[in-house]
Amino acid sequence: MTDPAAVLEALNDDQRRAATYTGGPLLILAGAGTGKTGTLVARAAWLRGQGVQPSRILLLTFTRRAADDMLARAQPADGNAADRIVGGTFHAIAHRVIRAYSEAFALPAEFSVLDPADSADVMDTLRDSHGLVGTDSGRRTPRAATCAEIYSRCVSTSTALADVLRAGYPWCVPFAGQLAALFTDFIGYKRRHGLVDFDDLLLLWRAALADPAAGPALRGLFDAVLVDEYQDVNAVQADIVRLLRPDGAGLTCVGDDAQAIYAFRGADPAHLRALSGTYADLTVIRLSRNYRSRHAVLRLANVIRPQYDGLELALTAERGHGQRPLLVRCHDEATQAREICARVLAEHEAGTRLCEQAVLVRSANHSDLLELELAGRGIPSVKYGGLRFTEAAHVKDFLAAARIVANPADDLAWFRVLRLHEGIGPVLARRVIDTLQIAGPQPFARWPAAEQELPSRLATTVGATVRQLALAADLPSTAERAAAILAALHEPMGARYADAAIRRADLERLADAAAGSPSLHDALVQLALDPPVSASDLAGRPRLDDDYLVISTVHSAKGLEWPVVHLPQLVDGAVPSDMALTTAAGLEEEQRLFYVAVTRARDRLFLYAPLRMHHHRRGADDRHSYAQLTRFLDAAALAHCELIQAAPPRPVLVPAAPLAASVDRDLASLWGTG
């Protein structure tokens, strides 16, 4: 960290006013690219300069990346622990608090954290006892993942089940009774097994802060609380912030309600707008000078930006005019893929490296065709967002095996590892688990009894895995344990997966990453709270001379910027997504998402609209439909774009007669057999 005075020197007037504000609660309304992070870092530095102890400053963010980034800039690299700002995601800080006082929360010292996929697995095992499997009186029941989603929505928005169902899951309304019973069961299961899901982390922290005895102690740990991206808080997180700073003293929130894009996980920008009601003495400072994008890009962004009463904001450009965004109308998605490749290469020729360009998509599958085209042309790319690495089947297998080693009472983990073996289905797995009495002491010792449940051929292969896991549990270091787990899975994975070698290579990197943790348990919690985005993420930074085009979902691109940005699929149904169009709030969020996408571009913005869409349907003929240009590009927005029509695709060739057959016939005449 540099000298605080120098940090302040580098700020503009608004930023400096925010960084050095001395009154009550402060809301910094920071538009995209207005130096929000730098201002927050400067405020932390200024607070230290005012004599606030770093360890009494709490910085809350939504991603680990944002937390790491700010902490690195806000404090000296060589400072000792007592001299460090406390910072992390809401979930990570909650975990830290609960771990430190696990006995107060009636949790085992080494409680496990369920990621959303784990929660869905638990729902899956519980739901058949509630009539939520198969078709119930002709209706399809909600899937396990949907049950978990509905549960989380209720909890994170503090909304009654009936209201959540009516607003977001109307087709599940008939199952309200069964879902209520399932959720009660779900909570019981978690408590019995000492498990905590993502929502629980926040709920438990909030409960502690609200407790008359524990609350003052926890809140008294900090003099200043800085919250990044406040528009993304859910009801529970808003409560946590309020409980941390009940009178608003020492509270700084940074946010932009026009960039709220996480409603689907319970966030609501209404909490940001409600701040002035919570704190009568709230001061709002606007940051609107944009240091990221060219004027030509911002003109479009300002038209798209939704404005909300009392929090209006328009960005002004600090970086010169630049070129107008180019809207490329394409005949279809294949043309769009070719157009993107052509423009990526043209920009590359003109001196913009591939890694300085990004293709941002609404949904991970929007780039499928493009990825094929890129591969065909040999253009390297990396993709962020979409399916997470930890959701790949083999990674889940490895994590389950690791969980057995870390905690042999983990029911779900046993279930998964046993089922990995060919010939073991749900029933046999359950029997083995019951015989092992995994909740009791020394479950591994009961394997000889459990193997009686299996045919002898299976008993041998499964037995080998179980014995190796038992040995792994006795190894001293995390690295050795991880290696032993990998060895235990070698046989069953080889039998299960055709591409086992590739998957094993992934897992070796995972094992290497886990080896850095003090314990296997810590490694698992880290992976749950901060899953690697891709396998390549684990391998550390790519070599410097490697150059990749970035493909990312808009959600994953939040907070980032690139000199050149390409936005494909700008047609109604894709952008905005038709899943979001059932409610007015959903449509508004899609508009904010589009605003976030547009404001990622520094110099050049390319927009692509394929007007003929292809629908994949097995069994039926391929179908096409003509799409509407996205409704967000209305006349006012289009006035700030340059429009071109992409070259039409090659003409369709429909020969009157089969061509190959006619050639064959001609040739056959040469041998005289025609």
* Residues in touch with DNA (CB under 7 A): 62-64, 89-91, 115-116, 124, 133-135, 140-141, 143-145, 149, 152, 198, 261-262, 264-265, 362-365, 385-386, 388, 422-429, 529, 531, 553, 555-556, 577, 579-580, 586, 616, 618-619
Q: How far is the CB of 68 from DNA (least distance, A)?
A: 12
Q: How far is the CB of 673 from DNA (least distance, A)?
A: 39
Q: Contact at 8 Å (CB) between 153 and 147?
A: no
What is the C-alpha to C-alpha distance for residues 306 and 662, in angstroms, rounded to an integer? 62
Q: Contact at 8 Å (CB) between 551 and 358?
A: yes
Q: Tell which residue, 72, 15, 23, 64, has the closest CA to residue 43.
A: 15
Q: How far is the CB of 107 from DNA (least distance, A)?
A: 19
Q: Contact at 8 Å (CB) between 112 and 84?
A: no
Q: Which is nearer to DNA, 117 or 483 (CB)?
A: 117
Residue 191 vs residues 127, 148, 167, 369, 409: alpha-carbon distances, Å? 17, 16, 29, 45, 13
Q: Contact at 8 Å (CB) between 87 and 173?
A: no
Q: Which is nearer to DNA, 52 or 207 (CB)?
A: 207
Q: How far is the CB of 229 from DNA (least distance, A)?
A: 10
Q: Which is nearer to DNA, 31 or 559 (CB)?
A: 559
Residue 44 vs residues 7, 132, 284, 433: alpha-carbon distances, Å? 11, 51, 18, 52
Q: Which is nearer to DNA, 339 or 453 (CB)?
A: 453
Q: Contact at 8 Å (CB) between 436 and 450?
A: yes
Q: How far is the CB of 576 from DNA (least distance, A)?
A: 9
Q: Which is nearer to DNA, 357 or 577 (CB)?
A: 577
Q: How far is the CB of 103 from DNA (least distance, A)?
A: 26
Q: How far is the CB of 435 from DNA (least distance, A)?
A: 13
Contacts of 621 by beta carbon, 8 Å cutoff, 6+ apart: none
Q: Tell which residue, 200, 278, 276, 273, has the closest CA to residue 239.
A: 278
What is the C-alpha to C-alpha distance for residues 548 and 355, in angstroms, rounded to an integer? 5
Q: Which is nearer to DNA, 478 or 553 (CB)?
A: 553
Q: How far is the CB of 579 from DNA (least distance, A)?
A: 4
What is the C-alpha to C-alpha distance for residues 259 and 257, in angstroms, rounded to an integer? 5
Q: Which is nearer to DNA, 79 or 423 (CB)?
A: 423
What is the total residue count of the chain? 674
Q: Tokens at residue 14, please?
A: 């608004």
What is the C-alpha to C-alpha distance for residues 327 and 641, in angstroms, rounded to an integer? 6
What is the C-alpha to C-alpha distance for residues 569 and 575, in angstroms, rounded to an integer? 7
Task: Name 361's bridge partners.
Answer: 553
What is the C-alpha to C-alpha distance for residues 112 and 403, in angstroms, rounded to an integer? 9
Q: Which is nearer to DNA, 261 or 315 (CB)?
A: 261
Residue 518 vs residues 67, 110, 130, 487, 515: alpha-carbon distances, Å? 21, 13, 41, 21, 8
Q: Which is nearer to DNA, 587 or 643 (CB)?
A: 587
Q: How far is the CB of 666 from DNA (least distance, A)?
A: 38
Contacts of 597 by beta carbon, 8 Å cutoff, 6+ apart: 360, 554, 557, 565, 567
* Element housing 413 (H / E): helix 411-420
Q: How far is the CB of 335 from DNA (least distance, A)?
A: 21
Phi-psi region of 51 (alpha: psi -120 to 50; beta: other; left: phi over 0): left
* Element housing 642 (H / E): strand 642-645
Q: Is 98 buried (19+), middle (13-18) or exposed (0-12) by CB count in 10 A?
A: buried
Q: How far is the CB of 131 from DNA (least distance, A)?
A: 11
Q: Which is nearer to DNA, 177 or 426 (CB)?
A: 426
Q: How far is the CB of 550 from DNA (least distance, A)?
A: 13
Q: How far is the CB of 232 from DNA (least distance, A)?
A: 9
Residue 138 DSSP code:
T
Q: Which is nearer to DNA, 388 or 504 (CB)?
A: 388
Q: Which is nearer to DNA, 42 or 429 (CB)?
A: 429
Q: Which is nearer to DNA, 426 or 540 (CB)?
A: 426
